[in-house]
Amino acid sequence: MPILIMLLSMVVDLARIVDAKILINNAASEAVRYLVERDDPGAVSTILSVNYGDRLDMANISYTVEDSPVQTINYRYYPSYSYSYYNATMKYKNVKISIEYKVDLIMPLSKIVFGSDFVVVDSWFTSRVGVK
């Protein structure tokens, strides 16, 4: 019976860690999509607190936004059912958001196994943002 209780206590904390990892992954993806639409890196904390504040402790979240230099790509555009083409140019930059979240462990056995009172889960997401 004691072994079963120890295993169940580990499952509780493991489920919390997996849930936090999924939430952080979704938050990074959503924050990058927001930056693609609005290009406002300062609003990422607002997005995280509004959309994930009920499930995650905002004091345990840290994030970074990294921009790459503007790059240019040249390509040919073929309109539908036409034999002619147009040369086009697109300017873009890559935006990467990295989010780290500190999951506090609540079960004593988990603290012993992991060797700490918390586990850090992280996720990052990169997207191409068009520049005018």
- Over its length of 132 residues, how does the chain's per-residue pLDDT go in tens digits? 788 888 888 899 999 999 999 999 999 999 888 887 777 777 888 888 899 989 999 999 999 998 888 888 888 877 777 677 788 888 888 889 999 999 999 988 888 888 899 999 999 999 888 877
Range of the domain at 23: 2-131
- Strand-pair partners of 76: 87
Q: What's the predicted TM-score (pTM) here?
A: 0.78
Longest dimension (CA), the chain: 76
- Contact between 31 and 68 under an 8 Å Cβ cutoff? The reply is no
- Contact between 46 and 75 under an 8 Å Cβ cutoff? The reply is no
Q: What total number of domains does the chain contain?
A: 1
- The per-residue pLDDT for range 78-111, each reduced to its tens digit, is 777 767 778 888 888 888 999 999 999 998 888 8
Would you give the distance in Å from CA 111 to the centre of its chain?
A: 26
As a whole number of angstroms, the distance between CA 29 and CA 25 comes to 6
